[in-house]
Chain A
């Protein structure tokens, strides 16, 4: 894409009725507004993250007995009190960082000795593993949001995808080269079917997808519980609600050896980020999706079939969520149990908001979310600060990102053009 327009063109436009007189030409270069708005999104998001880390710091101080104790004597030894407060917060965030990304000392050791690489890479590998389903389901949710379709059913679609993958996994016996692609495909198809139902209902009867997708979550949650207790899904000889496990030919291969859990699922997710970005920007269907997302009436007038688009978007969104279910199943878990998927389907909504419905934004949002999760666990283990604090920070980030006006107010930023909130609040009336 070359955003540059030769200045002569618009100058000609301005001069056309004026008879080419010495009119001041309307300058046309790359549209400055768009750049500013975009930059603003990045700035606001970055400030949101910084702010929530600051607030998180305050919370650490306020909940740590040692710090409070030291602060109680701030009158007699102020330096010590502030030092304790600072080091507690610093230790907590350091533990988060080493847990989620890399431990600098471990890295140094590995570089000098050439040993211990697995330990060094474990944090980042874990972050990638956690991020994978968030990226996939987040892409699905974002795709819906940018089309004005509110898919709250990623959780159910994820379960549907996982069930389909599992079935193909244990029921089919083929070499990995054929079997694994089938497992992946089954995940997508399972999720797509789960997305198709609300899509069809909306197109045919106008039933609002927020309601139907939420209801479908319950359907799949209960279906999962039911299937886990019956054949052929239940692990034979088990009385617990545990499924059969995926055979070796149905598992996503590791990326960096058996010691690290990072697997091909992350690569699939990355590929789909690229594919989704291309789809929304460059494909005709993606264009139709975006038109319907911002002005369905104009889209209809221009001959875009709104009902077809709504159904298609829920199918695609469901397929992506289904792949998220597949990725966890055949990447790390290898069997299903009750409550499978945890909160991924709902975190995906947050990730989509965080990424402002852009594929690359979703990727970054998912990585951040996963890092906070994985790092938070290490923080708990290393410093005793509860994992909940990491969740609080996640929540505060989302809070700030969802209220850009607040961030702008706090940091006295000037608004540039289109309001960010619009994107998020559109479509509920549908």
Chain B
């Protein structure tokens, strides 16, 4: 299928989200769409998929103009979309989700499960998308959920697949598997439109690359013609430092002391298993690990969102295990939660209100129980400039901001009050390179001001760039605390379960599980895209 967008324009009030965008996707092409946060990528895809109506311009499929009133029509024309936030029914099985809306039925309208399952097997073999049709969606990892979304699109015979930031929530291995799928789709003659902020991925999979800025297309290029820094410059309109520049840490007294911490997850399984950890004032401890190894629960325990089953969490000597989130905040803990839309923001409230969500009842934002709206507003106006948050106004509901700008609202809020400990989970998820640079710089500034910083990230690049020390978490345990100079490969192996190198400095003596085996049991993470040269600080 050959897709052409001509002069597509979409306005939201005075804001022009797409400004006469032209874009062509050839059959069998993997086309990457790049652009700053708020550049209008998702909007363009929504127009294409019939979820938003363009004010001007036209969409042509194989030369003939089309107009979609709703996603159903787009699907009928062979377009499939995997949204940034999945649209699956958690309690349904994989098979049920895939056929939902297009169910094969037997007489009397009964669902033909056998045929559904068989269809899915066939498709998954054809494209190498491994799934168990009978697994319940909420029980499978997000990488598999993503495959279900893709299967759903393929089952409706999508000739053009749109993937909006598909790798933001994937582990490196899952991303690599996704690229393999994308390539096999392209070989089969289908087209893929791929949105991402990760330049390495773009260079690894794209046939052609279109860059957007402020609603317009600023250029089209190919992977072979450009490198990461060219792409970054094209996107942001200035040179971007892809490496964080930071001086050596000058750690002070211990701020966060965790010992023997055990935490269970929703199902009552041990997620954090007797962890000991220390973060000192003025240092950044980065916790690396493949998602789902207990990092989420660790962060939740520290911020008071999840009770500790055993062990202690002390902040400046004050015991916080079992405390409420209020107590943690009062003790000087800031928290950038992992999922901005679930835990970080109130989507239908204004940007200005979201920027004071955890300090709304203190001076200068409130006095004697009354909010000072002028203070709230001027705070928001300042933050919008400081963090380059692209919002039509401080009164806009935060939910209508682009994904990356929503993330910036959370980060801006948490970085703007004096704290002792900053806990940040996936702090740059969904951010463009320019914003990552800025957020990283701000985090380093916090460190230099004497804040103890705990970063939890599944991005090895981020861990290596920010961490003064790197703790690797595997199956609920800290398998070692190493110097980032230990290197990508070493840390990658530890993330897959290998024990710490005993020569690593600052590694606590008890590091490493008693059962040492498992080395190489799982594939080494980050096997994929070109190894990055900018590792280390």
Are the CB atoms of A9 and B366 closer together than 8 Å? Answer: no
Which A1-32 residues sit within 8 Å CB-CB of chain B? 1, 3, 5, 9-10, 12-14, 16-19, 21, 23-24, 26-32
Are the CB atoms of A302 and B400 closer together than 8 Å? Answer: no
Chain A residues at the B interface, C-beta cutoff of 8 Å: 1, 3, 5, 9-10, 12-14, 16-19, 21, 23-24, 26-34, 36, 282-285, 287-288, 290-291, 294-295, 297-305, 417-418, 422
B394 CB–A CB distance under 8 Å: yes
Residue from the list B214, B347, B361 in contact with A23, Cβ < 8 A = B214
Which B389-407 residues sit within 8 Å CB-CB of chain A? 389-397, 400
Closest to A3 in B: B395
Which B198-257 residues sit within 8 Å CB-CB of chain A? 214, 236-238
Q: A295-B346, A297-B342, A298-B343 are in contact. Are A28 and B361 (CB under 8 A)?
A: no
Give the number of residues in B that approach A within 8 Å (Cβ atoms). 57
Are the CB atoms of A298 and B392 closer together than 8 Å? Answer: no
B357 CB–A CB distance under 8 Å: yes
CB-CB under 8 A from A302, the residues of chain B are 325, 329, 357-358
Are the CB atoms of B329 and A303 closer together than 8 Å? Answer: yes
Closest to A300 in B: B325
B12 CB–A CB distance under 8 Å: yes
Are the CB atoms of B305 and A301 closer together than 8 Å? Answer: yes
Are the CB atoms of A294 and B393 closer together than 8 Å? Answer: no
CB distance from B68 to the nearest CB of A (A): 16
B384 CB–A CB distance under 8 Å: yes
CA distance A402 to B392 in the complex (A): 30
CA distance A23 to B417 in the complex (A): 32
B119 CB–A CB distance under 8 Å: no
CB-CB under 8 A from A27, the residues of chain B are 14-15, 392
CB-CB under 8 A from A13, the residues of chain B are 384-385, 388-391
CA distance A282 to B376 in the complex (A): 11
CB distance from A45 to the nearest CB of B (A): 19
CB distance from B397 to the nearest CB of A (A): 7
Are the CB atoms of A298 and B357 closer together than 8 Å? Answer: yes
CB distance from B516 to the nearest CB of A (A): 38
Are the CB atoms of A9 and B395 closer together than 8 Å? Answer: no
CB-CB under 8 A from A36, the residues of chain B are 13
Are the CB atoms of B395 and A31 closer together than 8 Å? Answer: yes
CA distance A284 to B353 in the complex (A): 11
5 closest A-B pairs by CB: A32-B13, A302-B358, A284-B361, A31-B395, A303-B329
| Given A16-B388, A34-B395, A422-B348, 20 other A-B residues pairs in contact with their CB atoms under 8 A | A9-B381, A13-B384, A13-B385, A17-B237, A17-B435, A17-B438, A26-B15, A31-B13, A36-B13, A282-B373, A283-B371, A284-B360, A290-B349, A294-B349, A295-B342, A300-B325, A301-B337, A301-B344, A301-B358, A418-B397
CB distance from B200 to the nearest CB of A (A): 21
B345 CB–A CB distance under 8 Å: yes
CB distance from A345 to the nearest CB of B (A): 29
CA distance A10 to B303 in the complex (A): 33
CA distance A10 to B389 in the complex (A): 9
Residue from the list A17, A291, A303 in contact with B346, Cβ < 8 A = A291
Q: List 22 A-B contacts (CB under 8 A).
A: A3-B395, A5-B394, A14-B214, A14-B390, A16-B385, A17-B388, A23-B214, A26-B390, A26-B392, A28-B393, A31-B396, A32-B14, A33-B12, A287-B360, A297-B342, A297-B343, A298-B342, A298-B344, A303-B324, A303-B329, A304-B326, A418-B397
Chain B residues at the A interface, C-beta cutoff of 8 Å: 12-16, 36, 214, 236-238, 303, 305, 324-326, 328-330, 335, 337, 342-350, 353, 357-358, 360-361, 366, 369-371, 373, 377, 381, 384-385, 388-397, 400, 434-435, 438
Are the CB atoms of A283 and B370 closer together than 8 Å? Answer: yes
CA distance A29 to B328 in the complex (A): 38
Are the CB atoms of A285 and B369 closer together than 8 Å? Answer: yes
CB-CB under 8 A from A298, the residues of chain B are 342-346, 357
CB-CB under 8 A from B335, the residues of chain A are 301
Are the CB atoms of B371 and A284 closer together than 8 Å? Answer: yes
Closest to B435 in A: A17
CB-CB under 8 A from B373, the residues of chain A are 1, 282
CA distance A3 to B377 in the complex (A): 9
CB-CB under 8 A from A10, the residues of chain B are 384, 391-393
Are the CB atoms of B393 and A5 closer together than 8 Å? Answer: yes
Are the CB atoms of B325 and A287 closer together than 8 Å? Answer: no
CB distance from A329 to the nearest CB of B (A): 31
Are the CB atoms of A291 and B357 closer together than 8 Å? Answer: yes
CB-CB under 8 A from B370, the residues of chain A are 282-284
CB-CB under 8 A from A287, the residues of chain B are 353, 360-361, 371
Q: A21-B237, A287-B371, A297-B342 are in contact. Are A29 and B324 (CB under 8 A)?
A: no
CB distance from B342 to the nearest CB of A (A): 6
CB-CB under 8 A from A23, the residues of chain B are 214, 237
CB-CB under 8 A from B393, the residues of chain A are 5, 10, 28-31
CB-CB under 8 A from A9, the residues of chain B are 381, 384-385
